[in-house]
């Protein structure tokens, strides 16, 4: 292992951990949620506004950036941090999921993936070595191995073939990665919903040796109970002294349950995508600002939130913006959602430090059950 990403666990409460991950662009207190900046921007947000939510790491994507504007161009312009004016840490997804979900006419073999771009139909090849090279050119603090995101549902045989190929790709990615202080590479556990395969995958990855370990291939239709079953089966097979990352999982209740199970890092498009569709997350559940009940409501969206949307604007105004299709609606509600997610992670870190996480989880569930504030 490179030792490029020092990680220290500073408190524990059951399986949950509070930690500190050191990167070339600053420290990250975990558990942490990473806003998604797929194409070198968190949609509807300026970088300084993302930072104001409390985020200290965001996610970028190899697939999208290799197609436009290209990793080589970003490298010529000083790397992804400078290109997008983001001074803190960046994790880059390797592009495997996007190849499976967006690319056209894709072909998977031992060498990697060949596909046609969803933008212009041009043919591209993405091998494990090329995925790592792209992330190096971008200057990612955390690079991810190229993996095959197994389709769901899949038979045990299909999942095994896919998982074993991903493990061979992971070994090639590790060999291609250039170790340097403050930069690291994470392996990705695959195996669909089959616990034995998940444990086999985790054993393969720990045998190779990575700076952190992700659990991939979830939040694609299997449901929360199955997802937690997979996490429960996988976490004990991962090193206790390395960060654990649950990829693409982002509903508030999913985050809370996964933290209880020992997960340290998360990413998901849900808070930003929801902000663009007038959906807001609050301590009392999800609120649809398009609903007529908010049209005359002078109260803030969430009285306990410190974000600009809650501090300076009424539900009535946010409702108006959403109904009118104004860009400001997406900006304010995205900012609110990211504040909510950051506050949720802070609250869980604090509860772990005090060893009161179970009490926090009970209070969280009760508030969510109560639902939104009644109209005045």
| CB 88 within 8 Å of CB 51 | yes
CB 102 within 8 A of CB 96: no
Q: Is 358 a catalytic residue?
A: no
Give the separation between CA 266 and CA 345, rounded to whole angstroms: 10
**Of the listed 141, 147, 211, 267, which one is catalytic?**
267
The SS3 of residue 309 is helix
Rounded CA gap, 171 and 166, in Å?
9
3-state secondary structure of 55: coil
d(CA 6, CA 182): 8
Give the length of the chain.
Answer: 376
Question: What φ, ψ does residue 308 adopt, rounded to 5°?
Answer: -60, -35
C-alpha angle 171-174-176 in degrees, rounded to nearest 5: 110
Whole-number Å distance between alpha carbons of 195 and 155: 13
Choose, from 93, 141, 147, 264, the residue flagged as catalytic: 93
Q: Is 359 a catalytic residue?
A: no
Which residues does the annotation mark as catalytic? 93, 267
């Amino acid at each position: 292992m490179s030792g490029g990403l020092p990680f220290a666990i500073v408190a524990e409460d059951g399986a949950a951990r509070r930690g500190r991950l050191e990167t070339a662009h600053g420290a990250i207190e975990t558990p942490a949620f990473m806003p998604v900046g797929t194409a070198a921007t968190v949609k509807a947000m300026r970088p300084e506004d993302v930072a104001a939510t409390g985020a200290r790491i965001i996610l970028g994507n190899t697939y999208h950036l290799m197609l436009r504007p290209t990793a080589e161009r970003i490298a010529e312009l000083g790397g992804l941090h400078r290109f997008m004016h983001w001074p803190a840490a960046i994790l880059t997804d390797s592009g495997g999921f996007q190849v499976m979900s967006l690319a056209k006419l894709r072909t998977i073999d031992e060498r990697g993936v060949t596909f046609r771009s969803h933008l212009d139909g041009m043919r591209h090849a993405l091998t494990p070595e090329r995925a790592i090279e792209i992330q190096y050119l971008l200057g990612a603090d955390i690079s991810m191995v190229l993996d095959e995101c197994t389709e769901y549902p899949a038979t045990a045989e299909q999942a095994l073939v896919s998982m074993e190929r991903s493990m061979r790709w992971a070994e090639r990615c590790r060999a291609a990665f250039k170790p340097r202080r403050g930069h690291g590479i994470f392996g990705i556990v695959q195996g669909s919903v089959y616990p034995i395969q998940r444990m086999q995958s985790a054993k393969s990855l720990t045998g190779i040796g990575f700076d952190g370990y992700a659990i991939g291939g979830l939040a694609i239709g299997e449901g929360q109970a199955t997802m937690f079953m997979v996490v429960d089966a996988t976490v004990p097979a991962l090193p206790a002294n390395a960060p654990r990352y649950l990829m693409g999982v982002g509903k508030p209740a999913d985050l809370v349950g996964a933290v209880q199970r020992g997960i340290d890092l998360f990413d998901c498009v849900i808070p930003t995508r929801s902000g663009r569709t007038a959906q807001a997350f609050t301590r009392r559940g999800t609120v649809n600002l398009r609903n007529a009940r908010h049209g005359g409501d002078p109260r803030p969206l969430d009285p306990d939130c410190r974000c600009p949307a809650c501090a300076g604007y009424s539900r009535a105004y946010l409702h108006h913006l959403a109904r009118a299709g104004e860009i400001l609606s997406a900006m304010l509600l995205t900012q609110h959602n990211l504040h909510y997610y950051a506050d949720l992670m802070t609250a869980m870190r604090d509860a772990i430090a005090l060893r009161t996480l179970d009490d926090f989880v009970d209070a969280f569930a009760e508030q969510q059950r109560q639902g939104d504030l009644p109209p005045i």
